[in-house]
Amino acid sequence: MSITSFTTPGEMQTQLAQTFKRSRLAQNHSRASAATLTGVPEATLRAFEISGKISLRQFLMLCHVYGELSHCEALFPDKTPMSMDELLADKPKRQRGRK
């Protein structure tokens, strides 16, 4: 794992909350209408905008309506084998307790 950013997780939480709020306001949505559209309770939206704290599922629901949910798929990309050796070395490992 390499660290390529000097942004801390807490700072990223705050940035994401501010970005969501700007997006919501740009569409002239109140928290109540955003809650209706996303299925995330209004109190949770308020807490997210203030503290940056929200559950992953609720955050993804916000991304679905106000952001680009497909960008979340790129967070943990599958490594594509570049050679036959890498392909052969990437065999699934046996799981314990299953036959």
Return the CATH number at 84. 1.10.260
64 found inside a domain: yes
pLDDT at res. 82: 76
Residue 97 one-letter amino acid: G
Mean pLDDT of 75-94: 75
- Can you give the residue range of the structural domain that contains 84? 9-89
Query: How many domains, the chain?
Result: 1
Question: pLDDT averaged over the chain?
Answer: 87
* Angle of helix 42-51 versus helix 9-26 axis, rounded to 10: 130
Which residues touch 90 (CB under 8 Å, ≥6 apart)?
A: 81
4 found inside a domain: no
95 found inside a domain: no
Of residues 77 and 56, more confidence is placed in 56
3 found inside a domain: no
pLDDT(69) > 80: yes
Of residues 1 and 84, more confidence is placed in 84
pLDDT at res. 3: 59
